[in-house]
Amino acid sequence: MGVDRDCKPSGRVVSWNFYGRAQELQALKEILGRGRWFFARITGRRRIGKTTLVQQALRASNKQPVFYVQIPDSAPAGVLSAVHDAMDTFELPLERFARPDSLLAMARTVEQLALAGYVVALDEFQYFSRKHLQEFTSHLQAVADRLAARADSVPGGLIVLGSLHAELVALLEDRDAPLYNRVTDQLELQHLDIASLLELLDAHADRDAHRLLFLWSLFEGVPKFYRDAFEQGVLAADREDLLTKMFFRSSSPLRSEADNWFLSELRGRYDVVLKYVARHPGCSQADIEAYVREVSPSTAEQAGGYIKILIDRYQMLERRLPVFAQRKARSGRYYLRDNFLRSWLAALQSPISSINFRPEALLVERADAGLVEVEGHSLERLAGQLYEERSRRGIGDFALTERIDGYWDRGDTEIDLVAVNADDRVIRFGSCKRNASKLVTDMPSLQRHVDRFLATKGAYRDWKIERVAIAPKLDDQTRALISEAGAIAQDLGDLIEGL
């Protein structure tokens, strides 16, 4: 993993720690602490920290030996080779645990290890959905049933980890799947919350609002990416230095991250759709189909199917409905779910691909300019998430009961944040601008949008109506002008206070 130390500006050496995940860690400790057979499922996007969570829980328990193997996307021979290598790495004695020569023997090895008290962790378990590997799940079903029948006398257990949620769920939860109803526990890891990221930044950088927005737009809540930046010594650096060392050098840890861990999974089939949505957030299916027809006429008819697969199987796209629309509404707009993938496709991929032909400084500048555009959209999401976290923790001046999300199907209405406090009958409408100077001039426009909203949903007209203007940073003069316009001035510094 590299070095574990970082020097803050004060010169104090700070070690990297385990951040966030308190509830998930406690849940996993309890599973391990039962002292009986378990079959646990842990899901989450790549790099989200599934393996690290398991390592942390095992380190805390300090009782059970562990056997971990990452399943490759390959033929059975490749899977067995990976198992052999892992058995050598974990120094499993050959006289006790024979190296498996088939998928059936591999399942029996899992059984032997569990009976011997090992925690077996099979990472990227979703690859067993491949046709040439599917037989393993039938063999594992027999193993799981035998171990469950004598659970109290089995000191070990099995953890399966996966990053393709739909495929992993199909292996374990479809009624026709061999492993249906065998899982005893499940955890789904989401991005680290903002409070955990602030804890991380307090230790290794600072809470500067523009730094928070920049890093969150790039890395969101993926701990591995922050760890990579820490090891490169750039968590507290300026934007250009971070981009250069993280993406543009031959040794940069994230230079090929998206290609290796996201886009390679797609095998080149859906790139055109993803790139278009990344650069045109909020586009319609008709927009996507028109673009695909223009650049790749031979695949235009498949665009609708591509969109469905990217939503259901890979969870890379999300479809948002118009505000107040029924769930079955046919209209919708599309957005990339993952900040890193959006930043990569919209701003980073093209400059990085030109590194052998153009000056590095010019390409870094171009990438940074593209990321500034991305951050304009990210600010809305970040502000909404901060409202939710603050309300959950009982912090601040707004007790959120609902966020009205979606997009405005009337082109003359655009509101970035609609927060509802149904208990106190307060509704707050927000405008989010990365450039704080634009907030003051936007106040009359926000009021017109609010008036149109209230005309559409008259039930809110007798509620307390609040307007809020949000930017990364606000100076005293801008705050005063916003207040004079009858709105609440908030910047990210205000919204992270108390977290």
Better pLDDT: 10 or 144: 144
pLDDT value at residue 259: 76
* Domain match, 215 and 279 both: yes
Task: Categorise residue 191: left if φ over 0, alpha if ψ from -120 to 50, beta otherwise.
Answer: beta
Rg of the Cα trace of the chain? 25
* Domain match, 179 and 201 both: no
DSSP state at residue 97: S
* Domain match, 298 and 407 both: no
- Residue 131 belongs to a domain with what CATH number? 3.40.50.300
What percentage of the chain reaches a pLDDT higher than 90?
75
pLDDT classification of 1: cutoffs 50, 70, 90: very low
* Domain match, 168 and 30 both: yes
* Domain match, 216 and 143 both: no
119-123 vs 157-162, strand pairing mode: parallel
* Domain match, 200 and 181 both: no
How far lies 192's CA from each of 50, 164, 333, in Å? 12, 19, 26
Task: Decide if 127 is inside a domain.
Answer: yes
* Domain match, 352 and 282 both: yes
Model pLDDT for residues 374-389, shown as the tens digit of each residue: 999 899 999 999 999 9
Task: Decide if 14 is inside a domain.
Answer: no
Looking at 321, 351, 377, which one is the last position of a domain?
377
Better pLDDT: 5 or 277: 277
pLDDT value at residue 477: 96
pLDDT value at residue 267: 62
Helix-helix angle 360-392:209-219, to 10 degrees = 100
* Domain match, 418 and 316 both: no
What is the model's pTM?
0.90
Candidate ranges 6-10, 348-352, 403-407; pick with highest mean pLDDT: 348-352
Tokens standing for residue 205: 């950088």
| Residue 166 pLDDT exceeds 70 | yes
pLDDT classification of 262: cutoffs 50, 70, 90: low
| Residue 299 pLDDT exceeds 80 | no
Model pLDDT for residues 15-24, shown as the tens digit of each residue: 999 999 999 9
pLDDT value at residue 413: 66
Q: Are 380 and 396 in contact (CB under 8 A)?
A: no
Task: Decide if 4 is inside a domain.
Answer: no
Task: Decide if 386 is inside a domain.
Answer: no
* Domain match, 208 and 314 both: yes
Task: Decide if 12 is inside a domain.
Answer: no
* Domain match, 142 and 197 both: no
How far lies 454's CA from each of 406, 419, 447, 458, in Å? 16, 14, 11, 5
pLDDT value at residue 458: 81
* Domain match, 206 and 123 both: no
Task: Decide if 5 is inside a domain.
Answer: no
Task: Decide if 236 is inside a domain.
Answer: yes
How far, in Å, CA of 187 to CA of 454, rounded?
41
Domain span including residue 479: 393-496
How far, in Å, CA of 112 to CA of 92, rounded?
12
* Domain match, 79 and 216 both: no
- Residue 398 belongs to a domain with what CATH number? 3.40.91.50
Number of independent structural domains in the chain:
3
pLDDT value at residue 268: 64
- Residue 329 belongs to a domain with what CATH number? 1.10.10
Task: Decide if 388 is inside a domain.
Answer: no
